[in-house]
Structure formats: C-alpha cells, structure tokens
Amino acid sequence: MADFFDLLAQGETVALERLAGLADACGLTARALADYLPRPGCQAYPSYAARLARGRVRKVPTGPRRLARTS
C-alpha cells in the first residue's frame, strides 16, 4: 500500500516540475497563477487518497457523486 502512495507522490512531483511549461503554453502570467483558486470538486480525489493513506476512510464510495457546480 505504501508503494501506491509513493507512486502518487512521484507523479505529483513530475506534474509540478512541468507546470511552468504548461502555464507558459497556455499563456498564463505569474499573476494569473497566483490569483487562481481551485474548484473544490478538483480536490475530491486527492482528499480521498490522503484520507485513505491515513486510514481515515470508513467505507469505499460506490460510484461517482455529482458535485454541485458553483460559478
């Protein structure tokens, strides 16, 4: 199980290293990146994975849940 979470962390490291290149390709400025606020739904899986790693998940979700969209 620890290997799984180590693999996830390695993937996050690679993604972080490539983020600047993606931002440049998308034409985002440093200011736009600093002002960006992630949508809560984007954090659902990472939150679940973190709680799973800490042993704080009581049950496995049975399927995808729809989150309310906020503008």
Q: Has this prediction a pTM greater than 0.75?
A: no
pLDDT in tens, 14-23: 988 998 899 9
pLDDT in tens, 37-59: 877 776 677 777 777 878 766 66
* 1: exposed, middle or buried (Cβ count in 10 Å: 0-12, 13-18, 19+): exposed
Q: Could you give the 3-state DSSP secondary structure of residue 43?
A: helix
